[in-house]
Structure 1
């Protein structure tokens, strides 16, 4: 019997492990798709511009089908967790900026023991995935 994986499981498989930044990317990718709605025309492609290199980008590749190889995933490094999702050739776009309080949970201190790192990682993921959307990010549609 074949069991279909959930979107979360697909992202984790692609990325290789769970971490706070992959949960951030997962959440941003879902918000973006909800806000963008249905693709305007069959010929349009979703373009994603990120303002930081991070594990979050892997979630965009899996869930939003925006990839480096096709040139639909671009990084304009500014060390900001701000992401622009737009359909090519259309004015359909949404910018998602992650709140600073959320970003603080992305880094797990190195001085922790292995068990403490695991616990801190799980707590950060739960915090990121469970935060109220208004506390998680700001959304601007254009």
Structure 2
């Protein structure tokens, strides 16, 4: 069964709450995550997973983790 309407994406406020403060890195990671999800998840089954492996401790990674 395919997912309709695209992936559910949390609002930026949830990412800021997880990260602890607002900063440009959070916005960058949030926007990049939204674009990646919309592009990579098109046509995927709902039971498939998308995994990101990162080697950084920057703020944008928190956004990617939450979204």
TM-score (norm 2): 0.70
Q: Give 1:49 deviation, angstroms.
A: 2.3
What value does the CA root-mean-square deviation take over the aligned residues?
A: 1.9
The answer to which structure, 1 or 2, has the higher relative contact order (CA under 8 A, 6+ apart) is: 2
The alignment status of 1:54 with 2:58, answered yes or no, reads yes
1:24-64 CA distances to partner (integer Å, 9 max, x unpaired)?
1111101101111346234421111234321111111211x
Which one has a larger percent helix, Structure 1 or Structure 2?
2
Partner of 1:25 in structure 2?
Answer: 29
Which one has a larger percent strand, Structure 1 or Structure 2?
1
User: Runs in 1 of length 4+ with deviation above 6 angstroms?
Assistant: none
Cα distance in 2, alignment partners of residues 39 and 56 from structure 1? 26
Residues 27-46 of structure 1 mapped to structure 2, 5 A cutoff: 27-38=31-42, 40-46=44-50
SS of equivalent to 2:53: strand
Q: Which has the larger radius of gyration?
A: 1
Q: Which blocks of at least 5 consecutive residues in structure 1 are unaligned?
A: 1-5, 64-142
Q: Which blocks of at least 5 consecutive residues in structure 2 are unaligned?
A: 1-9
